[in-house]
Amino acid sequence: MPSVSATTLGADVNTDADGKDPDAPAPEQPAGGVARRVARRIGPSTTAVACYVAMMALSWLLVEVAGLSPLTLRGAVTPIAAGAVVAVIAIALAIRFASDRLAGAVAGVYAGWIGLVLINALHGTPFGHNELHNWDTLRMSALANRLTTTWGSTDAFLPGLPSEYPVLYPWLVARASELLDRPTWSLVGAMEILFISASALVAFLLWRRLTTPPVALAMAAVAPVVFMHGHKSYEILTLAVFVPWVLATFAVLSRDRGGLHWLPAGVIGGLFVCTYTGYLIFGVAGGMAIIAARLLRPNRKPYLLHLLGVLVTSVVVSSWYVVPLVWAYLTKARNVVADTYPNIVIGQEPVPLPFLEATPIGLLTLAGLFGLFWYRTREWWALPMLLLLGGIYLYWAVYMVQLVGNGHTGFLVKIPRMVTMVLATAGVLTLVRVARPLAERFRLVPPRSVGVAALAVLLVSSGLLAWDKWTPGNPKGFADAEPRVQESELHPNPALFAHMQPGPDGRPSRFVPEDLVATPMPANRIAAEVEARLGPDARPMSLSTDMRLYAYELWWGYLQRGHYSANSLMRYTERSAELEKLEAITDPARFAAASADTRFGGIDVFLLRKNPDGWYFNNRVTFDPASFRGGAFDIVDDLPSGLVLAVRNP
């Protein structure tokens, strides 16, 4: 047995594990040593976030300093010019200094450049994409306005009801409104910019846990361009998060391989519920299949505990939205009409088969479909993604049958974009997996520049697609082009609608040509007329043919015009029937009494539109003007846009 000296036995008293005296002064570090160690600890994720923040700040500064109209050719191509400079620098650095941190930096810059495209597109208008043009965006703006009055969940139009639509996005707009002391309708565009640009960043951060930084960078390029409705920015973000979150939460348990701990996984799940629940519902069958497949393997207890933690955390995080809604479902009557919208997309694409499209994304999804089947027993990601895809198609099949049976679509219009996201991300993973054996088979050692070129093509093509979709135009009939686009030929995209929308004072946005200004909504004048009669703090129950009113004023709405976005707790069909009863009454005294005491309460303010048949509310209800002439209402009939206001006398 070897001898042990007294010095060795006493080592644990006066020295650390390395035999060094812990009380001895630390040796001087060489110049730059600490900085180098700190730099080594900065990984691609940190680099991506830092570069995203910097690029967003520079993007805002560039657009403000340039001050160009995005409705002109010169202003529209500003992001392209800036992107060309950034691309040349990034490609040169990648060829010479390729690294994981550089991949992170490029991901952050790309996400920030997406922000530049959006900042530039909305420069000169206070509105967001399509903000006050269709039912969905009107509802979201109205809900954001209503949420300035409470921190809890509430309906946009009726008192005493919770929001049925996920409430986090408009809630954030409302909180920003209070913080910045600006009206909510002027902040929706800024929130769109943040959510859409962040989708590329968040996709990179989540995929970075599951794969290499260059592959995660490819996912970041794909994330914002699978679904590109700018006014659905919260859907773009949740769609970008969905696939990597499902894989990291349910398919991969080991955090060494990129699995998420139950706490952050549950937080993300809860935020998902509060932001947009549709993709969770569409994917629930596939998610259950992934869980079932995982439970067939040994060592199930840790996985079950993990699932329990995710579930409990998700419920807690989303409870402020879910609990009031579930309670209302249990205690109040409902009338579901929102999913009866006969969207033309369902007829144009009844079967979601994006891999048959002759487009870059179509080819990528075709590669993904091949890869999911070919590698289902060879790669960890293939079988879970195949099960997820199968579950989505199962949902589609069930609701196609229901659509034929009762007219309820189950929002099938959203299924193609989810199928495309699953297959497109699978396509990236497949191409990366195929490249390795092909190179070995043909004894190829491709230079680094080949990979750089492939990523550059993907990023540039995705970026150009984003620019084309989100930049105002017809699709690119710019205001300074000759000859000018005729109004009869104009097909505005959502960004152009943002510029066409006049404010509540009737003033147009900064750059829009006079002949493109949309019909004004004189909300300020209407509010002044009502306040003069009912008082400055009045929040009357109103019936408005122009839903833009509720984005500006905190008035209650007896019935919204677009039933395809109606809260089921509103009982749209029954309320509409009450209005049809009122429509049939032409005697002023009887109309005044009946409108003050309908089955769902009284109506104090009517904002209607004149037409040859009377005063129009919607295509079901047009009132006889004589009904309002008996003295019970004070009438203002000199409003622009053919509007007429009837205010009940106190």
Within 8 A by CB and 6+ apart from 484, the residues are 477
Q: Does residue 96 have a pLDDT over 70?
A: yes
Q: How far is CA 464 from the centre of its chain?
A: 20
State the Cα–Cα distance between residues 353 and 416, nearest whole angstrom. Answer: 7
pLDDT of residue 336: 86
Handedness of CA 191, 193, 195, 201 (dihedral sign): negative
**Which residues in 275-285 are b (16+ Cβ under 10 Å) and which e?**
bbbbbbebbeb
CA distance 327 to 136: 24
Lowest mean pLDDT: which of 243-257, 299-313, 361-375? Answer: 243-257
pLDDT at position 373: 96
Q: Helices 213-222 and 100-121: crossing angle, nearest 10°? A: 10
Q: Is the pLDDT of residue 216 over 70?
A: yes
Given a cut of 70, whether residue 33 has pLDDT beyond it is: no
Read off the pLDDT of each residue in 558-570 and give the average, rounded to a whole number.
86
Is residue 259 scored above 70 in pLDDT? yes
Residues 6+ apart with CB under 8 A from 344: none
Distinct helix (H) and strand (E) counts, the chain: 25, 7
Place of tokens 């295509």: 619
Name residue 356's amino acid: L
Residue 648, H or E segment? strand 643-648
Q: Which of 259-263, 294-298, 427-431 has the lowest mean pLDDT?
A: 294-298
Q: Is residue 584's pLDDT more than 80?
A: yes
Query: How far is the CA of 310 from the CAs of 166, 302, 306, in angstroms?
Result: 20, 12, 6
3-state secondary structure of 634: strand
Reading the block at residue 391, the tokens are: 């579950």
Report percent pLDDT > 90 for the chain.
69
Average of per-residue pLDDT across 509-533: 92
Whether the predicted pLDDT of 92 surpasses 50: yes
Binning the chain into helix, strand and coil, the percentages to the nearest 5 are 65, 5, 35
Q: What is the helix (H) or strand (E) element at residue 607, kind and residue range? A: strand 605-611
Burial 41-79 (b: 16+ CB within 10 A, else e): eeebbebbbebbeebbebbbebbeeeebbbbbeebbbbb
Q: What integer pLDDT is reported at residue 344 of this predicted model?
A: 72
- pLDDT of 331 > 90? The answer is yes
pLDDT single digits (tens) 126-181: 999 988 888 888 999 999 999 999 999 999 999 999 999 999 999 999 999 999 99
Given this model, what pLDDT does residue 37 score?
A: 60
Question: What's the 3-state SS for 247-270?
Answer: HHHHHCCCHHHCCCCHHHHHHHHH
- Reported residue count of the chain is 650
pLDDT computed for residue 352 by the predictor: 86
The single residue listed with the structure tokens 């027993």 is 377
Q: Are strands 633-636 and 622-623 parallel, antiparallel or unpaired?
A: unpaired
- Angle (CA) 326-549-534 rounded to 5° is 100
- Indicate whether 112 pLDDT > 80: yes
Highest mean pLDDT range out of 87-101, 329-343, 605-619? 605-619
* Interval 399-409: pLDDT, tens: 999 888 888 88
| Of residues 466 and 346, more confidently modeled | 466
Nearest to 434 by CA among 420, 449, 444, 422: 444
Average pLDDT over all residues of the chain: 88
| Structure-model confidence comparison of residues 341 and 144, the more confident one | 144
Query: What is the pLDDT confidence band of residue 14, given thresholds at 50, 70 and 90?
Result: very low
Of 30-39, 424-433, 550-559, where does mean pLDDT reach its minimum? Answer: 30-39
Q: What are phi and psi of 166, to 5 degrees?
A: -50, 135
What angle is formed at CA 206 by the lines to CA 201 and CA 209, rounded to 5 degrees?
Answer: 130
- Band of residue 298 on the pLDDT scale cut at 50, 70, 90: confident
Nearest 10 degrees: Cα torsion 343, 349, 350, 351: -140
Gap between the Cα atoms of 238 and 202, Å rounded: 10
Instruction: Tell me the pairing of strands 541-544 and 605-611.
Output: parallel
CA distance 198 to 214: 18
pLDDT value of residue 26: 47
Distance, in Å, from the CA atom of 317 to the CA atom of 328, rounded to the nearest integer, reads: 19
- This prediction's pTM: 0.89
Q: Is the pLDDT of residue 571 over 80?
A: yes
Predicted pLDDT of residue 3: 39
> How many Å apart are CA 601 and CA 648, to the nearest integer?
14
Q: In the prediction, which pLDDT does 515 show? A: 82
Going by pLDDT thresholds of 50, 70 and 90, the confidence category of residue 257 is confident
Pairwise CA distance, residues 339 & 407, whole Å: 8
Measure the CA–CA gap between 99 and 14, rounded to whole angstroms: 43
Q: What is the pLDDT of residues 415-444, one digit of tens each?
A: 999 999 999 999 999 999 988 777 777 666
Using DSSP's 3-state secondary structure scheme, residue 614 falls into strand
pLDDT band at 482 (very low <50, low <70, confident <90, very high): very low
Helix (H) or strand (E) holding 292: helix 278-295
If we measure between CA atoms, which residue out of 561, 423, 429, 466 comes closest to residue 129?
466
Residue 543: how many other CB atoms lie within 10 Å: 25
For 186-205, the pLDDT digits (tens) are: 999 999 999 999 999 999 99
pLDDT at 11 over 50: no
How does DSSP assign 191-225, residue by residue?
HHHHHHHHHHHHHHHHHHHHS-HHHHHHHHHHGGG
509 against 298, higher pLDDT? 509
